[in-house]
Structure 1
Amino acid sequence: MHYSICLVFFLQTAIDATQILQGPQNANVLVNQPASFNCTLTMDWTVLIWNINQYSVLTITKQYGPIVNSNRYMAHNYTTTTSFISELTILQTERSDSGTVTCILQNGGQMNASLSVQVNGTLQIANQGLSVLQNTQTSILCQANGWLPKPTITWMVNGSAVDSGKYSTRSTLTSSGLYDMTSTLAINATQNVSVACLASIPTLSQPLQANAFLTVTKTAPVTNFPTVLVAVVCSVCGALLLLFLILLILLCCKRRKRTRPNYQEEMRKAAQVRAQNRANAKPLPAQGEVNRGFSTDNTAGEDHAYAGITLNDYGNYKNNTKQIPNVVQASNSPSELPRRTQYPAGTRKVRHLTAV
């Protein structure tokens, strides 16, 4: 009986010698910031493995020391008289690191911890420097963009927290996996007030804050927005009209220059027309017949000399007196020549020559 109790105690001591005394703790860190986890073991250990989302990132053996799979991770060891502490450090956390961190002791079990990599985005009040009429309800808009997880939005007026019933908040998940938040505060101010919008996530020690100042007036606030808008529109329209006129003038000048006649071209065209007309002209008949009813005022000798000759023979006769003209349908006998017609004195006689 005594020996049985001793054997059970020895086996229990041997089992307890290879166990995890304390596992890693949950952590929330901002993206690109380091994160560290500790795992405390008993002195009688052999192999320790660190996993992130079931992926082995660090292996430590008692004989050979740490074996790191990536330069993003670092291992530190701390030894006491009764325990061995292994520390895993992620130098620059990424959003993909969010999940489960596991410390695995060979033949000694495992312990898990949760890692949340968070992103703090931007925060701003859209309508800063407001000027409102006294006792008039006004809405103030606060925008928080690019957060992970959803931030908690709260309001403060003159340093005092605003009841959640006086503002509304809605969120949108973007395609990048981050959240955009919009919060609207309804306020009815009787005097000038300072307004603050606050956004917080677990990794921030203090909430991110955006401030605005609300000016309350007894008369309607004066704004020159319509005047400025009209001036801008008029300026743009005037510039466009001037540009249109310049383009129109340039187009007219170019068209006028294109249609203006060229003196040399006109002269060349006229010469071509004349040459074409000469080429297409029909030649005159080579000769004609004598008009036997013709009579001149010359002497009888001259009339008889030209009677009965053709037009060509007449020209040859005038140009060359030695050439004898050809007589057509005429006789050499003077008695057969046509008689001279007598006309009263003062009567003008006209010569007619018909060319066939």
Structure 2
Amino acid sequence: MIGTSLRDLYKQRKGKSKRASSYDTTGGNRDYLKVYPGDVVDVCNLTGSGCITHIWMTMAPLEDKLEEFLHRKVVIRMYWDGETNPSVQAPIGDFFGMGHGITRNFSSAPLAMSPEDGRSLNCFFPMPFGKSARIEIESNADAPIKFYYYIDHEIYDEEIDSPLRFHALWKRELTDGIEDNISNALFEFGGKNTTGDGNYVFFEAEGKGHYVGCNLNIHNLRMTREWNWYGEGDDMIFIDGEPWPPSLHGTGMEDYFNTAWCPTQEYHSPYHGIILGGGPNWSGKVSYYRFHIQDPIMFDKSIKVTIEHGHNNNRSDDYSSTAYWYQTEPHKDHPIILPVAKRLPLADILGFNEDDMKKCFDY
């Protein structure tokens, strides 16, 4: 198919442009779905050969005020060509680029949250399908919501030009570090990681394809007046079952996300950025993204994308992420997403409660 660069816009195209949306089919102005707690609703069910080119979504309370952490309580799933295990599964806010159950205005090439207050959710990842495409929304909210959406797509008379399908997977983990009863220098910089064992794993896949990026959300859970930088861990990406050290071994978390020097400034560009910069002494919650649009990471048999949680995996923090990739089918089965109580963010550190943490991660 013809590309999407400015240089290709004048070229003649094949196919038909279509849209699935929540418009009021009576001609009125109730342009939304009513979604109640526990509902699982299909928002599109497409047949034929085609490609989703753009998704826009937003949510509002059916009545009363916007529910706290709503964007972690609603899950989006996508299924290609009749599969029963989803290729895409994530809380809706995380899928569109921002974790912690909140929204923020930001702009990147494939994902954006737009005003007002980042609640306009946009995705420009192309999503091809050969026979069918289905997108569903599951609400674990406490109250009914209005759900608005556009799913712009193209339908073709010929077969789609690639066997690869779009995938996205969210996960969350309280990382297992070491006891903080040593000097701060040893805690932050001590030890050597020569295996990659114990790294935080964004995702593992089997098949042929390419990895195209991720977002990473970290809640710094360490309470200290000493230097408390959370991000000294190296990225390690293992291709086709290779041993340590992998072909792609990085130098630090902020380096993988194309930033430098323990950043706190919020910044967004087409392919990398910091949506949430954290608080004093690197406290609180942060969110980064890195998209491999110009430099996709290819694999022939398998891929395992990991990063240390602090140097040598010394830190215990709250990590969550969404990874994005294309691959041949079938894919490894994605596990059932965590129940809503285990998806919700922890309280900010000043009100941090160990019992709450254990409830959240004891599964």
State the TM bucket, normalised to the shorter chain: under 0.3
The structure with more radius of gyration? 1
Higher relative contact order (CA 8 A, sep 6+): 2
TM-score by length of 2: 0.24
TM-score by length of 1: 0.25
The structure where helix makes up a greater share of residues is 1
The structure where strand makes up a greater share of residues is 2
